Amino acid sequence: MAPGLLTQDTPEAPHNLSSPYKASKRDNNNAPRDIFPDGIRTSGQHEPLYDLLRPYEDFPKEVTGPTVWTTEQYRSNPETWTHRFTEEELAELGATADDFMKSDTPLTGISQTNFPLPTLGKRLAALRDDLINGKGFILFKGFRVTEWGLHKSAVAYMGLGTYLGYFVSQNALGHVLGHVKDVGDDPTQIDKIRIYRTSARQFFHADDGDIVGLLCVARSLEGGESDIASVHEVYNALQRTRPDVVKTLTEPIWYFDRKGEKSKGEKDWIRTSVFYLEPKPNGRVYCKWDPYFVRSLGRFSDKGLVPKLSEAQEEAMAVLEQTCQQLALHMVLEVGDIQFLSNSQVLHARTAYKDHLPPMPRRHLMRLWLAAPESEGGWKLPFHDSDEKKRGGIQVDDRAPHCPLDAE
C-alpha cells in the first residue's frame, strides 16, 4: 500500500506495521551501560497504535478540570505559577552539584540516586503532579546560572530535572542537554534544520517529551519571548466554534517529518493525529503538534510519497494557531529563570528575536526533555512505549547520550 493511500483506508493494525515498530521492541529500560550510563535508552519517535485511536465521535464535547485555564486566571497572579528558589534550596542544589562534579560520574549518568535533594526534592514531587495532572507549567526564578557558570549550572539543572522525569535525547546527536540558540542555520530550510537553532519565530507546538524545561542563560537584545496556551482551553474553544477543525485534528491523516533523524529501517515520516484520547475509561485529550514538521514534507509530497495537505488541514492549522494566540499567556524569561511545561496539555511558542552584537552573549536557553512513564504517573498514551522510562524523544540507532555545555 502506497503511503499516500493510507488516509483513504483503514489504518493497519500494530502487528502489520512496518519494521520500525517491530525493531523498536527492545528492552530500552535495560540498555548497555557502556553506551547509556544510566542503563536506559531513549525510545524515540514512533507511529501510534492505530487500533487505539478513537474517532471524533468518542471525544468529549468539553474538557473540565485543572488542566483547563484561561489567561485571565494567571496574567495578574504570577505568584500562582512562579516559585523563587529559597536560599536553603539554592544551597542544597549548589552543594549537591559540587559533590556530583567531584564524583567523576558522567553527566549522562545523573539520577535522583546520585543527586540527592532531601529538601527541594519534596517540593519538586508536588510540582511534578501539578505539571502532569494540573495546569501544566511552572516558572522557577533565581537559579544562580551567572554565578555558577555553564558546567555547574548544567549539573544542577539536570539534577533538578531528574525529580520531574527521565531525560531523553532531543536530536540525532543524542543531546540530552539541548541548547536553544541561533547558530546561523537558515530558517527557510525547514526540511533540513531545526528551528530552535535559529532566531525565527516558533509557532505553537509541543516537543517530543512529556515535560520540557528551559533554563535562561542569556537573553536576546529584543524578542524571544514566551507564550503558552492550555490545550484543553483551546480544544473547548474549538469545539464551541469550529468542531469541524477538531474532527480534522483527531484523524490520523497528519504526516510529521523526521528530518533525517531516524534509525536504520525507519520511515522518513510518521503518520498520526494531532488530538488523541488516552486509551482508558474517561481518557484525557492529548495533543501532539508542531507545524514545522508538517510543512517540511514537500520533498516527499511532490513525489507522491505522502499526501499534500488538504484544504481542511490547511484551515485547521491556521485556526489552531490563531486560537492559541488568542488564549495565550505571555511571559518573559529572565536570566536564571527555568520554565517547565507539560507537552500533554500545554502548547508553547516564542517570538522571533534579535541578538546582541559581539562581544555580548547570544540568547541561550538550556533545554531538557523529560519523560514521565505511565507507571510513574504519566499519561497513558496510544504508543507501544507508553510505559517505558524514556518514552518519546529522538533516538538514532544506539547513538550514545551527550551533554554539551553549549550549542554544537
Which pLDDT tens digits describe the chain residue by residue (408 residues)?
Answer: 232 322 333 333 333 333 333 444 689 999 999 999 999 999 999 999 999 999 999 999 999 999 999 999 999 999 999 999 999 999 999 999 999 999 989 999 999 999 999 999 999 999 999 999 999 999 999 999 999 999 999 999 999 999 999 999 999 999 999 999 999 999 999 888 899 999 999 999 999 999 999 999 999 999 999 999 999 999 999 999 999 999 999 999 999 999 999 999 999 999 999 999 999 999 999 999 999 999 999 999 999 999 999 999 999 999 999 999 999 999 999 999 999 999 999 999 999 999 999 999 999 999 999 999 999 999 999 999 999 999 999 999 999 999 999 999
* Helix H or strand E encompassing 115: none
Measured CA distances, 185 to 191, 194, 198, 299, 382 (Å): 12, 8, 6, 19, 34
Residues in the chain: 408
Are the C-beta atoms of 182 and 197 separated by less than 8 Å?
yes
Provide the b/e sequence for 381-401 (b: ≥16 CB within 10 Å).
bbbbbbebbbbbbbbbeebbb
Task: Return d(Cα 19, Cα 264) in angstroms, integer.
Answer: 10
The per-residue pLDDT for 266 is 95
Q: Which of 353, 89, 398 is nearest to 202 (CA)?
A: 353
Q: Residue 192 has what pLDDT?
A: 86
pLDDT of residue 17: 37
pLDDT of residue 25: 62
Report the pLDDT value the prediction gives residue 45, as an integer from 0 to 100: 95
pLDDT at 368: 98
Q: What's the whole-model pTM score?
A: 0.93
Contact in structure between 216 and 334 (CB atoms under 8 Å): yes
CA dihedral 169, 175, 177, 181 (to 10 degrees): -120
